[in-house]
């Protein structure tokens, strides 16, 4: 633990102590809320754990919100509460509307990570139990121990950016599912056409298309003539003419390769092809529509990213617009954070370790713990992969850690932590990425990696993370 820290929880703990110092425990109240889709369960208790208002249920409408606020206000008055804390799990999107309304009336609204609630039940020897009241107790305990974080809703361009980024992410998953279904159609209609990693030892003709989904000829072929029976009877000029009629390019050599490949296929029955072809056509139409939606989403993402401080991240080779947008959408407004460590803690990207007693595994063989925001964690990992590939400063830092015996997973997390600090400094200072050593000299890529200095960014201030 750093010798400069004044509290075991760091600045978060210092702020909490400042809030509750000198306040009697019976004057500190916590409203624990278990969020559901169609109702919410709540309980109010003090810092001793004494229940002030037994568990009660409210609906998600105005009447339910008014009932909840009335119970809170009555408790504050009746028990002379001086500090009121409200805690809830960020359960999907169901909590957002309630949280926004509560924050307008009560200043100390806290979010408790769902994984932390689960682990807290285990600490209470209730790992196998799951009821609303048990969850409420776990939430209240974590809030009063300050194992939570303030609710800071997104607004403006950051809100639009997050919604478009999440929307695109969902549609990319839809596109992947559609592509897999289309491959299933083609495997029945045109066996062997889609082979991303053809192995020569398996025999048969060579691979026709190196990258099926990035090859225009392949995309046009399955839309014009996915029937190997028909292709095998065509002349190269006939296939070229078919492509040209739709204003698509195809050369005679490629046409000859396609026809020769079709002639070697073990043809499926005509009735099988006839039964599958209309399904293939519908899925291709749907795929085209999804592709258009993804393209539109990417335009909106670029537009809203340009309005935020995160636009500066696109100047770093290896990040790009989509990766930068995913990172900014995960953290929201960087002005909500005092330092980069808070961003990294929010991601939950920590290597699983067991360093207790005689067990000194240092993360070897352990998975990453599922704490924090999965969207932010995924974005940070993707950025780490890109920067390790395109920025020698980070790539060689990761290699250096692995050479010292660090597990690859631990090295990746350590590199991600360093990258997170640099990204935060770039957005904070709106500066260009330039690794500098302790003397302010440009050290691209490795001088500071071996302990001779600290990487930072040029600008008004240096990053201290």
DSSP state of 8: T
Given this model, what pLDDT does residue 412 score?
A: 92
Q: What is the DSSP letter of 448?
A: I
Q: What is the mean pLDDT of residues 241-253?
A: 95
Cα–Cα dist 213/215, whole Å = 6
Half-sphere exposure of 232 (CA within 13 A, CB side): 12
Q: Judge whether 292 and 176 are in contact, CB under 8 Å.
A: no
Q: How far apart are CA 68 and CA 39, in angstroms?
A: 12
Q: 103, exposed or middle or buried, with CB in 10 Å at 0-12, 13-18, 19+?
A: middle
The DSSP bridge partners found for residue 44 are 31, 53
Q: What is the CATH number of domain 22-150?
A: 3.30.420.40
Question: CA-to-CA distance for 362 and 231, rounded, in angstroms?
Answer: 59
Could you tell me how far CA 210 lies from the centroid of its own chain? 30
Of residues 351 and 122, more confidence is placed in 122
Give the model confidence (pLDDT) of 180-210 as tens digits.
Answer: 999 999 999 999 998 766 555 566 677 888 8
The residue-averaged pLDDT of 37-43 equals: 94
Of the candidate ranges 17-26, 260-269, 332-341, 444-453, the one whose mean pLDDT is the lowest: 444-453
- C-alpha span between 118 and 10 (Å, rounded): 24
Please state, in angstroms and rounded to a whole number, the distance separating the CA atoms of residues 309 and 66. 38
Q: What angle do CA 91, 96, 100 make, to 5 degrees?
A: 140
Total residues belonging to the chain? 465
- What residue has token string 């990761």? 398
Residue 440 clears pLDDT 80, i.e. is over it: no
CA distance 343 to 419: 11
Closest C-alpha to 345, from 310, 395, 380: 380
- pTM score of the predicted model: 0.81
Q: Is 57 helix (H, G, I), strand (E, B) or coil?
A: strand
């Amino acid at each position: 633990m750093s010798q400069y820290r004044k509290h075991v929880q760091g600045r978060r703990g210092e702020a909490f102590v400042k809030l509750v110092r000198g306040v009697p425990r019976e004057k500190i109240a916590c409203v624990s809320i278990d969020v559901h889709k169609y109702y919410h369960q709540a309980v109010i208790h003090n810092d001793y754990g004494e229940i002030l208002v037994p568990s009660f249920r409210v609906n998600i409408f105005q009447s339910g919100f008014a009932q909840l606020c009335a119970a809170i206000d009555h408790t504050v008055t009746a028990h002379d509460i001086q500090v009121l804390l409200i805690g809830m799990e960020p359960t999907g999107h169901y909590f957002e509307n309630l949280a926004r309304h509560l924050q307008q009336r009560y200043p100390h609204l806290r979010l408790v990570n769902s994984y932390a609630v689960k682990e807290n039940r285990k600490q209470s020897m209730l790992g196998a139990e799951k009821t609303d009241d048990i969850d409420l107790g776990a939430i209240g305990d974590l809030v009063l121990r300050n194992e939570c974080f303030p609710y800071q809703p997104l607004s403006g361009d950051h809100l639009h950016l997050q919604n478009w980024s999440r929307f695109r992410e969902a549609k990319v998953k839809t596109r992947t599912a559609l592509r897999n279904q289309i491959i299933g159609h083609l495997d029945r209609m045109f066996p062997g056409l889609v082979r991303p990693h053809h192995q020569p030892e398996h025999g048969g003709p060579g691979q026709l298309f190196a990258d099926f989904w990035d090859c225009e000829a392949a995309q046009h072929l399955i839309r014009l003539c996915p029937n190997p029976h028909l292709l095998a009877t065509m002349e190269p000029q006939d296939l070229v003419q078919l492509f040209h009629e739709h204003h698509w390019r195809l050369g005679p050599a490629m046409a000859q390769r396609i026809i020769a490949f079709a002639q070697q296929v073990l043809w499926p029955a005509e009735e099988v092809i006839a039964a599958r072809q209309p399904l293939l056509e519908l899925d291709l139409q749907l795929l085209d529509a999804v592709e258009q939606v993804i393209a539109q989403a990417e335009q909106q993402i670029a537009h809203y990213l340009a309005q935020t401080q995160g636009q500066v991240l696109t100047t770093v080779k290896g990040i790009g617009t989509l990766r930068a947008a995913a990172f900014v959408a995960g953290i929201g407004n960087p002005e909500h954070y005092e330092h980069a460590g808070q961003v990294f803690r929010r991601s939950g990207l920590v290597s699983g370790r067991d360093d207790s007693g005689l067990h000194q595994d240092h993360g070897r063989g352990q998975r990453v713990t599922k704490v924090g925001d999965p969207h932010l964690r995924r974005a940070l990992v993707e950025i780490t992969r890109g920067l390790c590939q395109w920025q020698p400063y980070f790539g060689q830092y990761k290699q250096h850690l692995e050479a010292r015996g660090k597990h690859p997973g631990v090295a990746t997390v350590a590199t991600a932590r360093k990258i997170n600090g640099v990204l935060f400094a770039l957005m904070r200072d709106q500066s260009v990425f330039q690794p500098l050593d302790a003397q302010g000299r440009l050290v691209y890529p490795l001088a500071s990696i071996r302990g001779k200095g600290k990487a930072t960014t040029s600008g008004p201030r240096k990053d201290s993370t």
